[in-house]
Amino acid sequence: MALVIQEVTKRYQNFVAVDNLSFTIEKGEIFGLIGQNGAGKTTTFRMILDLQETTAGTISWNGESIHAIDRDLLGYLPEERGIFPTMTVEDQLYFFGELRGRKKKELKEDVNYWIERFELEEKRKAKAETLSKGNQQKVQLIASFIHKPEFLILDEPFSGLDPVNKDLLKEAILFLKENGTTILFSSHQMENVEELCDHLCLLKRGVSLFSGSLLDLKKQYGKTKLTVRTDMAIEELTALPGVKDVTIGKEQYTLTLEDESYAKGIFDIVSKGDYIEKFSLDYLSLDEIFKDKVGGGNV
């Protein structure tokens, strides 16, 4: 186990930002920390980075206290974007690389590689403040891992990126993972978490609601989302056994079941033994689970 967070609490004078939080991240995996604004994600990151003290609990990396490790093992992309406005893209990357213990000569190859990969070649000598927001974010992202950290923390890396750049970023994250980097990231865009994460932790006002593998979380809810295309009226569907709720979508209904065992019975009724265009039983999406967990039941 690479990162172990054990019963960590962060308490301020009159409120608790993180309450008795525990989770572990395996080496080389991508771990998602999800929660609404103010859930305690950034505070957790800051405690891991030793930017803030924990009130109670321990955080360790490879069995060593986080206070004692070499800080250059870590890479960090904060939620609020921060780069030196008047420094050029290239200088910026060299500066952060050198600051984190790498020699300029060693950095050259990586700087060139990432500038090209993120399509920043033309902006190499441009001052950071003249770049578009998306490009600034790409520069900062490269800066956060240019020193090849073992452990990379990305706070909301996807916010503000267009779909093309989002894909670039996803590919980069997977590339880093393949090269052995352990990655912890937060997001409130669940589709990104679902695509990338092996494990995750759900936070609500500093309290962990779930911590473990994505599949385990989904299994907790079971396959209760049923999408059907049928001529039946909504009233008829609602009256079916085991149906908790029905919503109308585009040429289809989405049924929420009490549990997946009702599905077969419903199939028989809806299809009437005939051909049916659509009948699909799925796990809830992470988005729906998140809303259920955090919102307290309103899926």
**Residues contributing to the site for another protein (CB under 8 A):** 12-13, 46, 49, 51-52, 71-72, 74, 76-78, 80-87, 95-96, 98-100, 140, 143-144
In this complex, which beta carbon is closest to another protein, that of residue 72 or of residue 260? Answer: 72
Contacts 24+ apart (CB under 8 A), 61-66: 61/2, 61/3, 61/151, 62/2
Residue 155 Cβ, how far from another protein at the closest point, in Å? 9
How would you label 268-291 residue by residue, b for 16+ Cβ within 10 Å and e otherwise?
Answer: eebeeeeeeeeeebebbebebbbb
Structure token pair of residue 87:
């420094």
Spatial distance between the Cα atoms of 74 and 48, rounded to a whole number of angstroms: 10
Residue of 129, 134, 137 whose CA lies nearest to 85: 129
CA 78 to chain centre: 14
Q: Which residues contact 100 (CB under 8 A, 6 or more apart)?
A: 71, 72, 75, 146, 147, 149
Spatial distance between the Cα atoms of 125 and 131, rounded to a whole number of angstroms: 11
Residue 38 Cβ, how far from another protein at the closest point, in Å? 14
In this complex, which beta carbon is closest to another protein, that of residue 51 or of residue 269? Answer: 51
In this complex, which beta carbon is closest to another protein, that of residue 149 or of residue 246? Answer: 149
Residue 8 Cβ, how far from another protein at the closest point, in Å? 17
Residue 202 Cβ, how far from another protein at the closest point, in Å? 25
In this complex, which beta carbon is closest to another protein, that of residue 98 or of residue 287? Answer: 98
Residue 86 Cβ, how far from another protein at the closest point, in Å? 7
DSSP reduced 3-state for 133: helix
In this complex, which beta carbon is closest to another protein, that of residue 100 or of residue 199? Answer: 100
Residue type, position 272, single letter: K
In this complex, which beta carbon is closest to another protein, that of residue 30 or of residue 77? Answer: 77
Residue 29 Cβ, how far from another protein at the closest point, in Å? 21
